[in-house]
Every structure is written in structure tokens, then in C-alpha cells.
Amino acid sequence: MRIPGPEHQEDGGLSAVMAAGGLHRYQLRLHETYGPVVRFQLPGADTAVSVADPVLLEATAHIDKRPEELFAFLDPLCEAGNLQVLPADEHTPWRRLLLSVLAGRPSHERHFARFAELTQELADRWAARPEGEPVELQTELTALSLRMICGFALGGAETDTDRVVASFEEVLTEHLGRLYQVPRDDPRSAERAEEALAYLRATVDRVVAAHRPGGRTDRSDLIGALVEAGESPARIRDTVMVTLLAAHHTTGVAVSWTLHLLGRHPGAAERVAAELDEVLGERPTPDYADLRRLTYLDMVLKESMRLFPPGPYGARETTEDLDLGGYEIPAGTTVFYPFWAVHLNPEYWPEPERFDPGRFTPEEEAMRPRLAYIPFGIGPRSCEGAALATVEAQLVLAVLLGRLRFRPAPGHEVTPVERFVLWARDGIRMTVRPRSRCVPPGRGKPGAV
């Protein structure tokens, strides 16, 4: 059976993608037109098969290979082999190690207080702004996420966080600029990015050198875990770079899109605020243990990442022939994961464009196929930072929404574009005002029910 899809184009499909406004929107259009399995020309990969049905996706969930050419743009950031496309036998132990640090409760608890402090500083700054002067959420919140993950990955004490953050921004702006062919006015930009990359790598080396053999004290120390596992210095430097890269834009936009949606749904925003007052009382920040009691906030975050998945797509390469609902997919095919189209598939999400956190009650979740909601990807190459990202996002939202009221800036239009993550083209501008708490008597003490 031939997989449906658009006619072959001489330009490799580029003009069709451009006409749709980017690959993220092109996917939505393709699946609307041709159904859940579509064959299309993917610029940079010849032909790909895109799958937007969560049940059919199960047949691909074990695949442990990404197509190399699609991720080649990350080659310059890695010295010991591009981590996105490591062969499975190298990737599996690396992933296990990363998960042992990133997914573990000890590491979340260990860094929680510092994360809360950084968020408080931002909330203080926003609370002090003249009334009516909007803030640009996306830039400020990705910067906050970068500071958090720098502290997490490098440890706070010996590193100059400001310089690390600025250097990373320099490297990223240069490399993403090349990927999206954004012209840079500064003739020295490439040279400066090289210098910044060298500084970042030297910083990681200093942290590695300070590590005493057997000196790792807990499971929150990423570099310590990599040293003790015998990873090479180059692979450790690469891992830190990729962690910073994977962690900060994604988490920053997840929080920005959530605040954007709450600004347009004041009823949901009120309900989040009431839950925060109930659980936190007068306390400005939650404790780690409070997060699991913020159930409505969690539903709102999930619904926001359904409507605006920070990473809107992924890809795999089949290593054997595959039967995909009657379609034969030969080994070596690029399988495209259109996370956004999966999240908007009307068969599993009635009125898919409507914001409704009620879709994420435990009962509703239990009724849907496992892969209907996949903001962190699928299978052995899915996001190792999912649990940490969730803690970060919940904490930031709890602090900001407990203290401030967000409203859309009048006249500002928010347009999602694909810039490595799902980014708002002209930013997300909102006005903020302090809000007063409304605390029921006896509520909001740590551990109170």
C-alpha cells in the first residue's frame, strides 16, 4: 500500500515548508490533508514518513537511532561524537547515567532552594515594574532556566554564572543563526562564539579537575557522575553543553506559553491562584513536597505543553523493516515525529484547539492511548530531563502566579514559529501586577492538608 502524501517537488520540499510558515505548521497541514500517516519530502533528509496517530506510533517506539544528517548542525558543539546521534551501544549507558542524576528526586530536592531563590529574584523585579509596562516573558524565562541549569550542571560556587550564561548565549545565537540563516551584523560573531565555547569547555574542565576520585557525595552531581563512570573529558564537556542546550529554551518556553494561555483564560488563572493560596498560604515559594499537591497547576502545565509543545517534532531512522498499520516501511527510512500534530489529533483530543486543563484528570488520562501526549518524546531517545523540567516549570509557575497577575499586553500578537523550540515570533508580552493572597484560615502551612 502506498503511503499518501504530496507530489514530488524539485526543490526537495523546501518551498512547501516555507509556504506553510515552517515545518511545525507544515506537519499540521499535511496530516489534516492526508491522514495519520504521510509521506513527504523533508528538506535535509529526502523522503520521510510522518506519523500522527498514537496507536500507530507504538510500532516505532523501540527505535534507537536518529537520522544523522538532520542533527549534523549540532556537530560543532560536540568533540567526542554528536550526542544526538550516538550509536545505541554508546547511547544506552550514557542515557542511564544521565537519568540517574536528572530523573532522581535527590537531585531535584538538592537544587530546589536555589531554583526557588532565582525565581524569587525575577518575581521581585517584575513586581517592582511600573504598572502597565509589559514584560517579555520568553527572553526572561529562558534566561532564568539557563541560570537554573547552569547551577545544576556546573555547581554554583566556583563558576562565574553570569559569564557562563553570557558565553552560552553567544554560542547558541551563532549556531542557531547559522541553522536558520539569520544574518549577523557583527563580523566578529563567529570568532566570539569560538572564544565563548572555549571558555565554557575550560569551565567544565575546571569543575572536573576539582573533582576528587570517589569524592561524589550525592546523586545530584552531574559532572561527578560522569567522572566516576569513566567518561572522557571531551564527552563530559559535550554532555554539559548538550544539557544546557536541551534544558533552557524548552523549559523557558513551557512556562511562557503556560502564562500566555492563563492570561487568555482568567477562570483557569483564578483557579490556579486559589490552589496556590490553599497550599502555600502566605509562603512565597513552595517546598519540594508541595508540588504534588498543586494538581490543577500540573493539569494546566500539561494542557499548555499539549497546545504548545516546546519541542514540536523529532525524528528516528528505522533499523529494520516495519509494518505501520498496513504500510510497509523499509529499514533506513526517516520516521518523523510530529509531536504538535499528535497533540492536536481530533480523534483523541475533541476540539483540539480549545484550552481545557480538565483533559488531564487521572480519569481522562487513563482513557487515552499512552502516546497521545508526548511533549518529551518517545522511547529510548526521549528526554532525560523530563522530570527535572517538570519540577522547574511547576516551581516557577507557582512562585510567579502566587505573587503576580498576568494579563496580555494590549495589541500584542503572539505567533508561534519554529526556532529549534516552539518560539513566539515577536515574544510574549504581558503586563504584571502584584496580587494579594486570599488564604483560608489554617491553610498553607508546610504539610497542611
Span near ligand HEM by CB under 6 A; candidates 20-28, 256-264, 348-356, 372-380: 372-380
Among 250, 304, 394, 431, the residue binding ligand HEM under the rule CB under 6 A is: 250
Q: What is the DSSP letter of 73?
A: G
Q: Is 416 in the site for ligand HEM (CB under 6 A)?
A: no
Q: Is 382 in the site for ligand HEM (CB under 6 A)?
A: yes
Nearer to ligand HEM, 134 or 312 (CB): 312
Q: Which three cell numbers stand for residue 252?
A: 523557558
Q: Is 144 in the site for ligand HEM (CB under 6 A)?
A: no
List, as one string, the DSSP characters of 219-241. Answer: TT-HHHHHHHTT--HHHHHHHHH
Nearer to ligand HEM, 16 or 146 (CB): 146
Span near ligand HEM by CB under 6 A; candidates 56-64, 182-190, 365-373, 385-393: 385-393
Q: Which residues contact 335 (CB under 8 A, 6 or more apart)?
A: 48, 49, 50, 51, 60, 63, 315, 316, 317, 318, 329
Q: Is 286 in the site for ligand HEM (CB under 6 A)?
A: no
The four Cα atoms 306, 312, 318, 319 give a dihedral, to 10 degrees, of: -100
**Contact call for residues 139 and 126 (beta carbons, < 8 A):** no
Per DSSP bridges, beta strands 404-408 and 334-337 are unpaired
Nearer to ligand HEM, 122 or 388 (CB): 388
Among 381, 403, 405, 429, the residue binding ligand HEM under the rule CB under 6 A is: 381
**Contact call for residues 153 and 114 (beta carbons, < 8 A):** no
Span near ligand HEM by CB under 6 A; candidates 43-51, 212-220, 242-250, 267-275: 242-250
Shortest distance, position 50 Cβ to ligand HEM, whole Å: 14
Among 134, 375, 416, 427, the residue binding ligand HEM under the rule CB under 6 A is: 375
Q: Which three cell numbers stand for residue 83?
A: 550526542
Residue 336: strand pairing partners:
50, 315
Nearer to ligand HEM, 16 or 255 (CB): 255
Pick out residues in 174-233 that bind ligand HEM (CB under 6 A): none
Span near ligand HEM by CB under 6 A; candidates 17-25, 106-114, 199-207, 369-377: 369-377
H runs (alpha helix) in 291-351: 295-307, 339-343
Among 251, 256, 334, 394, the residue binding ligand HEM under the rule CB under 6 A is: 251
List, as one string, the DSSP characters of 390-449. Answer: HHHHHHHHHHHHHHEEEEEPTT----EEEESEEEETT--EEEEEE----PPTT--STT--
Pick out residues in 91-110 that bind ligand HEM (CB under 6 A): 95, 102
What's the first-to-final CA gap in the chain, in angstroms? 57
Q: Is 246 in the site for ligand HEM (CB under 6 A)?
A: yes
Q: Is 27 in the site for ligand HEM (CB under 6 A)?
A: no
Q: Is 84 in the site for ligand HEM (CB under 6 A)?
A: yes
**Helix H or strand E segment including 334:** strand 334-337
How deeply is 213 buried, as exposed, middle or buried, from its count of CB atoms within 10 A (0-12, 13-18, 19+)? exposed
**Contact call for residues 378 and 60 (beta carbons, < 8 A):** yes
Q: Which x/- pattern, by CB under 6 A, does the window 48-67 give for ligand HEM?
A: --------------------
Which residues are near ligand HEM by CB under 6 A? Answer: 84, 95, 102, 149, 242-243, 246-247, 250-251, 254, 310-311, 314, 375-378, 381-385, 388-389, 393
